[in-house]
Structure 1
Amino acid sequence: MINATVLAPYAPTPSLPRGVCFPIIVPIISTKGGEGKSTQAGNIAGFLADAGLKTLLIDGDHSQPTASSMYALDYEAPCGFYELLTQSVSLEDPDNIISRTFIPNLHLIVSNDPNDRLTLTMLQAPDGRLRLRNQLKHASFSHYDVIIIDSKGCVSVMLELILLAASQFAIGVIKPIMPDTREFLRGTVGVMASLLPLEAYGIKLPEVCILINCMDNTSLDRQTLDSLTHILNSRQYSHADQLNLSLLKTKIPLLEIFEAGHACGQPVHRLEHSTPRKISLSAAETMHALTCEMFPHWTVEFTRLLVSLKAGKQ
């Protein structure tokens, strides 16, 4: 049995750079399924919450709502993502759509559209692609530090509206497999390119920071990573003059511990604080590195959490 460390929550002391406003909204995207978007969205959200940040995880994957069932709930709201987008429930009472997980500081809006009614509804709505962006401006969401939005792996209006909800950047998740990287550069970049006309109306597309997931220390994985790095650095992708893609330094290793975290309903940083492995960091150290890269203004809070985890392990 895997033991998880549970920490008492504490409040962060945010010091955001000028121009950065709460909440920071981060979509987790890829047009290909099976890349690990939901798992990493849950792990990121869990780490942020344990670091003391008020975090909301939105499950926008209607066909495989993995993020909705990743963590046990202390309170389950009667409504969810469907009602948020169809505006069929009042946001004046957040308990209508926002559930609370067992992790302090981590709230959840569940996916509840198994029949895929939202896709057609949002296509037909005049403001469909901007509906989520506008809904998240409601005062009910203003007290969150970060909102993480999981998405379905396909090209659709649902991915477009999730991408347009980003406040600064989105995380693109890719496995270091050549067909997967090609699909990302074709599909995900293609979706972004289709949204470029909206910039004429003052809607700026976010930078996409690519997270390599399930990185194995093989020559084939390294070759794929080198090829992707070259493409990004030399800007040899479609609409490179208008779209910003970058590669995160942190890589998620191909390790059983990340599957174990999902299986037992715990964020992975609680399960492995240190490791004798020489080829990769521990799960907690990996999540610390990733979140520091994503949100450098909260490095102090993230480092405090990591130190607490290691002290508890010892």
Structure 2
Amino acid sequence: MTNTAEVTNIIRIGYVPEHFSTPLYIAKDLGYFDQLSVKVELVLCPGGTGEMTSKLHDKSIDLAIALTEGLVAGINNGQDWYKIVGTYVDAPLCWALSAGKNSNHSSIDNLHKTNVAISRYGSGSHIMAFVLANQQHWLKNNEKPFDFTVLNNFKAMRDAVNDGTSDFFMWETFTTKPYHDSGEVKRIGEITPQWPAFMFAAHTDLLRDNNRKQALLEVLQSIQKATALFIQQKEDESIKRVMDNLDYDEQDVRAWFKTVSYAKNHRHVSTEALQVTLETLEKADVVKQPIKTINDLIDVDIAILIE
């Protein structure tokens, strides 16, 4: 049985095993987390945002670094156990569309009414399919634009498009690129939404505890410090870190650094970005009326709203 005191003296951070998460490893390796009043544990979530919101629900993590659209949609659709507390990556995420290596699909145009492999319902790979359908004007007469197959992880999705179980999947472009380069799967397009890629979301239990809330501020400051170092060293050490951790090609890492932007203050949350996200998700029929207000999405004591 877990000791309650132990649980309240730890903040478990859920994250995806991608290049974006490298600052977390820096904070851990350089002892930034060791200097805090609370123990920090990193929890790998290969299933992405859907897995993290589930883990927030069952309290196996306290803080998630998850996709903006997944968090906004989740809260709007009744996931009331977490709130947004800050922004991690404020540049948009570019999603690659991939089909099987021998697939007849060669472009976005002929994907209507096909089967999409997704990690989980409510995940970015699920939500972005509706954003794609909205852009392509496929959301008409209450018809379903796609069928979905839930596969939990990235490898299973790649396997599904190759064995014909699914027609395509959507995943972050640089994470998918090595599999395009090797020929394992085929790139057939991309889509980039108009909002920050990743935000921080904390469990409401943590946010109701003043001591843990103060510890959360310390954690965000430590990640901020690690992020600043990561960007500062992007011409040498940081490139090597990403290459070593994820076996990425140097040229790809350098290209990614040209596109990424981390929030200069991890507590900042753009009201405009959240509004655009809400409006787009509503148009794509991912959230239903009435949509929540911006203040319903965030914790106003931690997040600092900006335009």
Tell me if both proteins adopt one fold, taking TM over 0.5 as the criterion: no
TM bin (shorter chain): under 0.3
| Higher relative contact order (Cα pairs below 8 Å, separated by 6+ residues) | 2
Q: TM-score with structure 1 length normalisation?
A: 0.27
What TM-score does the superposition give when structure 2 sets the normalisation length? 0.28
